[in-house]
Structure 1
Amino acid sequence: MKFQRTLAAAAVLSAISSLSHAQTMPQGEQAAIPKVVVTATPFRAAEGDQILTPAKILAGDELRDKVGSSLGETLSQELGVSASGFGPGASRPIIRGLEGSRVKMLENGMAVSDVSGLSNDHAVAAEGATARQIEILRGPASLLYGSGAIGGLVNVVNERIPTHLEEKLAGQAELRYGTVDDSRNASGSVDGSAGAIGFHVDGNVRRAHDYTIPGPAALGEDAPPRRRLGNSFTRQETGGAGASLVGAWGHVGASVSLLDSLYGIPSGEGARIDQSQTRYDIDSMVKSPFSGMESVKFKLGFTDYEHTELDADSDPEVKFTNRSLESRLELTHKPVSGWHGTFGVQTENSHFAAIGADGGHEEHEDGAAEEEHGSHVTVPATHSTSVAGFLVEEREFGKLRMSAGLRLESVKRRPDGLLKRDFNLTSYSVGGMYPVAPGYSAGLTLSVAQRAPATEELYSEGPHHATETFDIGNPNLKKETSHNIELTVQKTTGLVRWKANLFENKVNDFVYGRVTGVLVEEDGEALRERLFEQADARIRGAEAEIGYNQLGQGLSMRAFADTSRGKLERGGSLPLQPAKRVGFDIGYKKGTIRTGLSVMRAMEQDRLASFEATATPAYTQVGANLSYTQKYRNHDLTWFLLAKNLLDDDIRLSTSLLKDLSPLPGRNFVFGVRTRF
Structure 2
Amino acid sequence: MVSRCALFAGMNRLFLLLLLPYFVSAQTSYKRLKQQPYVSPSYPTSSGTLLAGRITDFATGDPVPFVQVLLEELRRTSMTNENGRFVFPNVPSGTYHLKAFRVGYQSIEEDIQVNTQDTVYIMIRLPASINQLGEVEIMGESGNTLEKAALAVEGATLRQNLSGTIAETLLGTAGMAMRSMGPAPARPVLRGMGGDRLTVLEDGGRTGDLSASSADHAVVIEPLNAERIEVLRGPVALAYSASALGGVINVVRNFIPTHQPEALHVAASLQGESVNKGLSVGYMVGAPIGKIALHTDGSFRTAQDLQTPSGVLKNTDLRTLNGSIGLSSIQKWGHLGVAYSHYNSRYGIPGGFVGAHPKGVRIALYRNHAELSAEYVPQDATYLTKITLKNNFTYYFHQEFEASGAIGMEFQTLEVHTRIDAQAKSIGPFQRGKAGVSGLYRQYNVGGLVFSPNATELAANGYAYQEATKESFTISAGIRYDVRTAIPEKETQTRIGFIRKRDFGGLSASVSINNQVSRCLSMALTINRSIRMPAVEELFTEGPHLAAYSYDTGNPELITEKGYGAEWSTRYHATGSEAQLTLFHNRIPSYIYLANTGKINNRTLLPVYQYSRGDARLQGFEAMIHQSLFAGVSVTATLSFVSGALVEVSKPLPQMPPMNGNTAIQYHMGNLRITGGIKYAVKQNQLGDFEDATNGYVIPNLSAQYHLTKGKKLHTIDLSLNNLTNTTYRDHLSRVKSIMPEPGFNIKLLYRIYF
Q: Give the match for residue 433 of structure 1.
A: 514
Say if 2:677 and 2:701, in contact at 8 Å, map to a contact too: yes
1:336-347 equivalent positions in 2, closer than 5 A: 336=427, 338-340=429-431, 341-347=433-439
Instruction: Report what 1:213 is aligned to.
Output: 308
| Matched residue, 2:752 | 674
| Match 1:386 to one of 456, 459, 483 | 459
* Distance (Å, rounded) in 1 between the aligned partners of 2:239 and 2:424: 16
* Counterpart secondary structure, 1:14: helix
Q: Does 1:655 align with 2:746?
A: no
Q: Deviations over 1:331-352 (max 9, x none)?
A: 1112346323101111111111
Post-superposition offset of 1:543: 0.4
Structure 2 stretches of 5 or more lacking a match?
Answer: 1-6, 17-22, 34-57, 59-66, 76-93, 100-108, 110-144, 353-358, 491-498
Tell me if the contact between 2:201 and 2:248 (Cα under 8 Å) persists in the aligned partners.
Answer: yes
Of 258, 263, 272 in structure 2, the residue corresponding to residue 177 of structure 1 is 272
1:305–1:321: 8 Å Cα contact kept in structure 2? yes
Residue 241 of structure 1: aligned partner:
325
Of the three residues 12, 15, 19, the one matched with 1:14 is 12
Residue of structure 1 equivalent to 2:138: none
Aligned with residue 300 of structure 1, among 377, 386, 391: 391
Q: Does 1:566 align with 2:640?
A: no
1:77 paired with 2:167, answer no
Following superposition, the deviation at residue 55 of structure 1 comes to 2.2
- Which residue of the other structure, out of 164, 173, 186, is the alignment partner of 2:259? 164
CA distance in 2, matches of 1:98, 1:261: 26
Name the % identity.
28
Report the equivalent of 1:285. 375
The DSSP-based 3-state class of the residue aligned with 1:438 is coil
- Secondary structure of the corresponding residue to residue 97 of structure 1: coil
Report the counterpart of residue 517 of structure 1 in structure 2.
Answer: 598
Structure 1 Cα separation of the partners of residues 482 and 209 of structure 2: 21
Q: Which residue of 2 aligns with 1:587?
A: 666
1:598 maps to: 677
Matched, 1:275 2:277: no
Work out the number of aligned pairs and report it: 632
Q: 1:350 aligns with which of 429, 442, 452?
A: 442
Change beyond 3 A, Cα 1:549–1:35: farther
Tell me how far apart the structure 2 counterparts of residues 65 and 412 of structure 1 sit (CA, whole Å).
43
Shift in Å at residue 34 of structure 1?
Answer: 10
**Any idea what SS the aligned residue of 2:485 has?**
strand
Q: Which of residues 216, 226, 229 in structure 2 aligns to 1:131? A: 226
2: CA distance, partners of 1:209 / 1:203: 21
Q: Report the secondary structure of 1:656's partner residue.
A: coil
Whether contact under 8 Å (1:170, 1:191) holds in the other structure is: yes
CA distance, structure 2, for counterparts of residue 30 and residue 396 of structure 1: 22
Partner Cα distance (1:343, 1:96) in 2: 28
How far apart are residue 285 of structure 1 and its match? 1.6
* 3-state SS of 2:651 partner: coil
The answer on whether the counterparts of 1:266 and 1:662 sit within 8 Å (CA) in structure 2 is no
Task: Give the SS at the match of 1:380.
Answer: coil
Contact 2:635–2:664 (Cα < 8 Å) also in 1: yes
TM-score by length of 1: 0.88
Partner Cα separation in structure 1 for residue 69 and residue 27 of structure 2: 19
In the alignment, which residue of structure 1 is the partner of 2:337?
253
Q: Name the residue aligned to 1:6.
A: none
Unaligned runs of at least 5 residues, structure 1: 1-8, 216-226, 357-374
Give the match for residue 408 of structure 1.
481
Q: Could you report, residue by residue, the CA deviation over 1:575-605 in whole angstroms, capped at 9, with x for unpaired residues?
A: 1001101211122222222221231101111
Give the TM-score normalised by the residue count of structure 2: 0.79
Q: 2:538 is paired with a residue of what secondary structure?
A: helix
Aligned match of 1:504? 585
- For the Cα contact (< 8 Å) 1:140–1:449, is it kept in 2? no
How far apart in 1 are the matches of 2:221 and 2:265? 23
Cα distance, 1:113–1:141 mapped onto 2, change above 3 Å: farther
Note the alpha carbon deviations across 1:138-181, whole angstroms, 9 max, x for none.
44665211335641111010111111121111121111221111
Post-superposition CA distance 1:61-92 (Å, at most 9, x none): 21111111111111121110100022111100
SS of corresponding position for 1:577? coil
Q: Give the counterpart of 2:417 among 305, 326, 339.
A: 326
Q: Is the 8 A contact 2:241 2:248 kept in 1?
A: no
User: How far did residue 35 of structure 1 move?
Assistant: 9.1
d(CA) in 2 for partners of 1:408 and 1:162? 31
Higher mean Cα deviation, 176-185 or 145-154?
145-154
Mapped partners of 1:82, 1:492: distance in 2: 26
What's the secondary structure of 2:213's corresponding residue? coil
1:144 correspondence with 2:239: yes
Cα distance in 2 between the residues matched to 1:425 and 1:82 = 29
Give the C-alpha shift of residue 44 in structure 1.
Answer: 6.6
Counterpart of 1:88 in structure 2 is 183
Q: Using the alignment, how far apart are the partners of 1:315 and 1:30 within structure 2?
A: 68
Q: Structure 1 residues 622-631 or 475-484, which shifts more?
A: 622-631
Q: Is the 8 A contact 2:234 2:512 kept in 1?
A: no
Match of 2:608 in 1: 529
The answer on whether the counterparts of 2:25 and 2:576 sit within 8 Å (CA) in structure 1 is: no
- C-alpha separation in 1, matches of 2:412 and 2:242: 21
Q: Which moved more, 1:36-45 or 1:538-547?
A: 36-45
The 8 Å contact of residues 195 and 212 in structure 2, kept in 1 or not, is answered as yes
User: 2: CA distance between counterparts of 1:432 and 1:34?
Assistant: 31
2:30 alignment counterpart: 28
The root-mean-square deviation of aligned C-alpha atoms, in Å, is 2.8
Deviation for aligned residue 1:28:
2.3
8 Å CA contact 1:85–1:653 kept in 2: the answer is: no
Which residue in 2 is equivalent to 1:626?
704
**Equivalents in 2 of 1:553, 1:321: separation in Å?**
56
Stretch of structure 1 that moved more, 262-271 or 571-580: 262-271
Q: Which amino acid aligns with 2:315?
A: N
Distance 1:10 1:88, change over 3 A: farther
Aligned counterpart, 2:538: 457
In the alignment, structure 1 residue 398 sits paired with structure 2 residue 398: no
Q: 1:46: Cα distance to partner?
A: 6.8
Out of 276, 281, 286, the position equivalent to 1:191 is 286
| Separation of aligned partners in 2, 1:28 and 1:498 | 21
Q: Work out the CA distance in 1 between the residues paired with 2:687 and 2:31.
A: 48
* 2:484 partner letter: V
Separation in 1, partners of 2:196, 2:486: 15
CA distance in 2, matches of 1:230, 1:28: 55
Mean CA deviation greater in 229-238 or 31-40: 31-40
Larger deviation: 589-598 or 42-51? 42-51
> Do the aligned partners of 2:167 and 2:187 also contact (CA within 8 Å) in 1?
yes
